[in-house]
């Protein structure tokens, strides 16, 4: 990697819906009870270690292989969360970055200081990390196409968000498919195609449009979030789920929820209303990601 060129191209990008948020789980978070799931020894598992406009990190694993998607909370919290789920951070196969905004990268530099891990992302995203990219240049593993991590095949797809080169990730095993898909802006044909036939989704349901419009954010920030390079609204997320449903169970973690411009109850109302209307209540199985908490979502392989 040409370090001099990288330094010249470094761009500090610290954007995102990042106004201060309360750290406590809201009282209405019990509205969706997380289904009882036993972590599988085979198949595919995705665990949200943190998910909100304040910070995002997702553990994806299959068999003995584990990946971290984003590192938007402190390295200490990520380490503690991984250890609670039986994962040694030093044994991660890598960190996959969706984009450079601080709610997805806050803990990255400290993680790289503590653990010798590769970071898989695009060149534009890496350059946008600024000093972290320069300091840890040798950790950069440029994403140029599908990657194999033990039993996991990972593919990246582009999203519409105001970052250097934003994207999401699809993960496949022999019988399962999952995806981490937040910071969407809007649902492009590329996104919808990438999510087809998924069994498991971590999907953005960021805001309620009316609550955002009436809320305390400055006009330019409201316009950004509502725009095609911002974040996905509750009803947009619900309509996408109905288009993705193909008759087999679709397990969903509704993620990246704004505490300022959304509530669990509003997410639930939008999703339930739309999937009920389409007659898909029994097939689409939603739950909520907790703020700095963890939620399991898994589908085991059958013999």
Could you read off the pLDDT of 182-220 as tens digits, one per residue? 999 899 999 999 999 999 999 999 999 999 999 999 999
Closest CA to 69 of 202, 196, 190: 202
Is the predicted pLDDT of residue 5 greater than 70, yes or no?
no
Q: In what order do the strands lie in the sheet with 119-121?
A: 140-142, 119-121, 95-96, 65-69, 56-62, 44-51, 296-299
User: Is the pLDDT higher at 254 or at 32?
Assistant: 254
Per-residue pLDDT tens digits for 38-87: 344 468 999 999 998 889 999 999 989 999 999 999 999 999 999 999 99
DSSP E strands, the chain: 44-51, 56-62, 65-69, 95-96, 119-121, 140-142, 147-149, 152-158, 167-172, 177-181, 200-204, 250-255, 284-288, 296-299
Closest CA to 281 of 32, 51, 27: 32
Chain centroid to CA 162: how far?
A: 16
Give residues with Cβ within 8 angstroms of 36, minimum separation 6: none
User: Above pLDDT 70, what percent of the chain?
Assistant: 82
Which whole-number Å values give the CA distances from 134 to 89, 95, 127, 137, in the listed order? 22, 17, 8, 5
Closest CA to 151 of 253, 67, 251: 67
Is the predicted pLDDT of residue 32 greater than 60, yes or no?
no
Per-residue pLDDT tens digits for 123-145: 999 999 999 999 999 999 999 99
Burial 158-178 (b: 16+ CB within 10 A, else e): ebbbbbbbbbbbbbbbeebbb
How confident is residue 15, by pLDDT bands cut at 50, 70 and 90?
very low
Per-residue pLDDT tens digits for 150-192: 999 999 999 999 999 999 999 999 889 999 999 998 999 999 9
* pLDDT given for residue 189 in this prediction: 96
Q: Within 10 Å of residue 123's Cβ, how many Cβ atoms?
A: 17
Per-residue pLDDT tens digits for 235-259: 999 999 999 999 999 999 999 999 8
Closest CA to 206 of 240, 257, 168, 253: 257
Q: Which tokens belong to 123? A: 């060149």
Give residues with Cβ within 8 angstroms of 183, minimum separation 6: 98, 99, 101, 104, 159, 161, 163, 166, 204, 231, 256
Sequence-ordered alpha helix ranges (H) in the chain: 3-9, 75-84, 102-105, 108-114, 123-127, 131-135, 189-195, 209-214, 219-226, 234-244, 264-277
Residue 107, judged by CB atoms within 10 A of its CB (0-12, 13-18, 19+), counts as buried
> What is the rounded radius of gyration, in angstroms, for the C-alpha atoms of the chain?
18
User: Above pLDDT 90, what percent of the chain?
Assistant: 74
Per-residue pLDDT tens digits for 275-298: 999 999 889 999 988 765 566 666
- Backbone φ and ψ for 241, nearest 5 degrees, come out as -60, -40
* Sign of the dihedral defined by the CA atoms of residues 237, 238, 244, 248, in that order: positive
């Amino acid at each position: 990697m040409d370090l001099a060129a990288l330094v010249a191209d470094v761009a500090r990008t610290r954007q995102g819906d990042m106004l201060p948020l309360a750290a406590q789980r809201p009282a209405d978070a019990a509205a969706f009870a997380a289904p009882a799931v036993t972590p599988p020894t085979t198949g595919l598992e995705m665990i949200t270690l943190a998910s909100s406009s304040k910070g995002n990190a997702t553990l994806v694993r299959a068999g003995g292989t584990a990946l971290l998607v984003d590192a938007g909370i402190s390295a200490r919290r990520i380490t503690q969360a991984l250890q609670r789920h039986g994962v040694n951070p030093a044994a991660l196969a890598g960190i996959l970055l969706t984009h450079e905004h601080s709610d997805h990268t806050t803990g990255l530099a400290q993680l790289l200081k503590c653990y010798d891990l590769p970071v898989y992302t695009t060149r534009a995203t890496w350059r946008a990390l600024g000093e972290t990219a320069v300091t840890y240049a040798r950790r950069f593993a440029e994403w140029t196409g599908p990657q194999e991590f033990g039993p996991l095949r990972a593919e990246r797809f582009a999203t519409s968000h105001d970052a250097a080169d934003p994207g999401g990730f699809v993960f496949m095993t022999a019988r399962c498919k999952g995806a981490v898909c937040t910071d969407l802006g809007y649902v492009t044909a590329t996104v919808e195609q990438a999510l087809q036939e998924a069994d498991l989704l971590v999907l953005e349901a960021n805001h309620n449009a009316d609550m955002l419009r009436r809320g305390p954010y400055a006009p330019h920030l409201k316009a950004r979030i509502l725009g095609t390079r911002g974040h996905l609204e509750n009803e947009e997320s619900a309509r996408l789920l109905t288009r993705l449903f193909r008759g087999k169970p679709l397990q969903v973690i509704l993620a990246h929820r704004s505490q300022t411009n959304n509530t669990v109850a509003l997410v639930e109302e939008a999703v339930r209303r739309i999937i009920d209307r389409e007659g898909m209540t029994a097939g689409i199985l939603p739950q909520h990601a907790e703020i700095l908490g963890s939620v399991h979502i898994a589908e085991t392989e059958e013999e």
